[in-house]
Amino acid sequence: MLKEFKTFLLRGNVLDLAVGVIIGTALTAIVKALSSGIILPLVNLFMFKIDLSKLKFSIGQATFQIGPVLEAVISFVITGFVLFILVKTVNTFFMKKKDEEEVTVNEELDTLQEIRDLLKAQNTNSIEKH
């Protein structure tokens, strides 16, 4: 059972997931700092210095804290945008690499086809001579 557990932990999927969670957590901390330290103050600047964190409204006895929700939405949008840019950059890098590999494969294929055609021509010529 211990060997099975070790095998499970050392599989690529589990390790990839662990790395993803750790990076995601670190990215979330960065985005929260960016959001609360730069983006939200800019939003507050354009909204006539309204502090979103204290924004609330009441209906009867119930008080609704809408400010933290708005801050969370802004943070979510920023996180999504950062991830979009990150994924797009990585995909662009891998697409360029893949395109370069395809060019190499196509050149090799062309060379092999030329060799095949030359061999066919030689075989045809040698058969005609006999």
Residue range 120-128: average pLDDT? 73
Answer whether residue 124 is part of any domain: no
pTM of the model: 0.45
Residue found under tokens 């959001």: 35
User: With contact defined as beta carbons under 8 Å apart, do 104 and 112 qualify?
Assistant: no
- Residues spanned by the domain of 11: 2-96
Q: CA torsion angle for 51, 53, 55, 57 (degrees, to 10)?
A: -170
Answer whether residue 118 is part of any domain: no
Answer whether residue 102 is part of any domain: no
Answer whether residue 40 is part of any domain: yes
| Residue 33 pLDDT > 80 | yes
Total structural domains within the chain: 1
Residue range 7-17: average pLDDT? 73
CATH number of the domain within which 11 lies: 1.10.1200.120
Residue 10: phi, psi to the nearest 5?
-90, 0
Answer whether residue 39 is part of any domain: yes
Answer whether residue 42 is part of any domain: yes
Residue 62: phi, psi to the nearest 5?
-90, 135
Answer whether residue 127 is part of any domain: no
